[in-house]
Amino acid sequence: MPLSEFDVIRKYFKPADRQTADVRCGIGDDAAIVRLPEGMELAIAMDTLVAGVHFPLDTAPEDIGFKLLAVNLSDMAAMGAKPAWATLALTLPEADSDWLAGFMQGFNDLAGQYSVSLIGGDLSRGPLTISLQIHGYLPQNKGMLRSGAREGDLIYVSGTLGDAGLALKVLNRELEVDPKYKPLLFQRLNRPEPRIELGETFRDIAHSAIDISDGLLADLGHIIEDSHVGAVVNTDLIPLSEALAELDTAEALQLALTAGDDYELCLTVAEDMQASVDQTATEQCPLTCIGKITSPGKGIQLEDADGRAVRISGVGYRHF
């Protein structure tokens, strides 16, 4: 007998409602009710993943579930917020038990790490489309915004850039890499690591932040637009993985600057905080200073270490 909508909710989604003290009413009612800790403000973000657009059609359901939550957690990290609750809207062609079990396994693998409770949502029949709204909190009047960058700030990025873009090109057979790099590249594409702890650490340090989802140039572009400033980026300082470093220099730089799906953080920090920032970097989460915020009107200038202009095709992923 096929599963009904309520069978799916009870069997696969209800167990992800952790029934913690801050959830007064979760899955199973017309709306969820949560308790916000005293002195905190609510941070809310939402992302949609569409089959064939945001992930290949043959992606494992475990990876889809993991990535859906990861990309939302990355938005929390960019704000410096602590994630707490999520609501899920899932449109499925059919109620496939194996797919649902795998999807929720991947989701719970990550939700458990950050004690995120699934507190409600909606389930419908149709083309595979998944939307998740994440709710978190942070102290009142805190939080990193795109609009806070100041002239003279140093620009930092976490991790390495371009790996997910390279993985997609490998999957599409547009580029080939040494097989030893493939597991890590596919991990970066399918199971990105949200920088939650880094975001909370920088909440009182950085002037502005954004997560790199559409490519560094596109996302740094949002910061300079909203902050009414410019930027100079030294392309020789862009952090690359070993897999990227083995590519042609121009190809590697193109991916690092414009490929989406990295979900690293880009932060701007006052120059006199550089020592504190450098002490925050770890082997698991390196931080690299790649440039500086400048006066408005010049956009993003790309230069090599000798100050020569660097040309790049495009600025990043575009939805339309």
Q: What is the CATH number of the domain that holds 246?
A: 3.90.650.10
Structure tokens at 266: 């880009």
Q: Based on the domain organization, do 209 and 105 belong to the same domain?
A: no
**What CATH number does residue 125 fall under?**
3.30.1330.10
pLDDT at 298: 82
Give the number of other CB atoms < 10 A from CB of residue 206. Answer: 26
Beta-carbon contacts of 288 under 8 Å, excluding residues fewer than 6 positions away, are 156, 157, 158, 237, 238, 239
> Are residue 152 and residue 95 in the same domain, yes or no?
no
Report the pLDDT value the prediction gives residue 319, as an integer from 0 to 100: 60
pLDDT of residue 26: 86
- Residues of the domain holding 133: 5-139
Are residues 232 and 279 part of one domain? yes
In this prediction, residue 282 carries a pLDDT of: 83
pLDDT at site 28? 82
Residue 98 lies in a domain: yes
What residues pair up with 269 in beta bridges, in sequence order? 154
Same domain, 75 and 209: no
Where is 135: in which H helix or E strand? strand 129-139
Asked whether residue 150 falls in the same domain as residue 127, the answer is no
Sole residue written with tokens 């400033």: 229
Do the beta carbons of residue 294 and residue 230 sit within 8 Å? Answer: yes
Residue 79's nearest CA partner among 262, 221, 208, 219 is: 208
For residue 246, tell me if it sits in a domain: yes
Q: What number of helices (H) and strands (E) belong to the chain?
A: 10, 12
Number of domains forming the structure of the chain: 2
Give me the average pLDDT of each 10-residue run along the chain (320 residues).
Answer: 72 76 86 93 95 87 96 97 97 92 96 95 93 97 95 97 96 95 96 96 95 96 97 98 96 95 97 91 89 93 94 70
Q: What is the pLDDT of residue 317?
A: 62
Q: Which helix (DSSP H) or strand (DSSP E) does residue 157 occupy?
A: strand 154-158
Same domain, 258 and 293: yes
Same domain membership, residue 257 and residue 168: yes
How far is it, in rounded angstroms, from Cα 31 to Cα 34?
10
Q: 131 and 173 share a domain?
A: no
- Closest alpha carbon to 235 in 300, 165, 318: 300
Q: Within this chain, do residues 72 and 120 fall inside the same structural domain, yes or no?
A: yes
- Position 311 in a domain: no
90 and 208, same structural domain? no
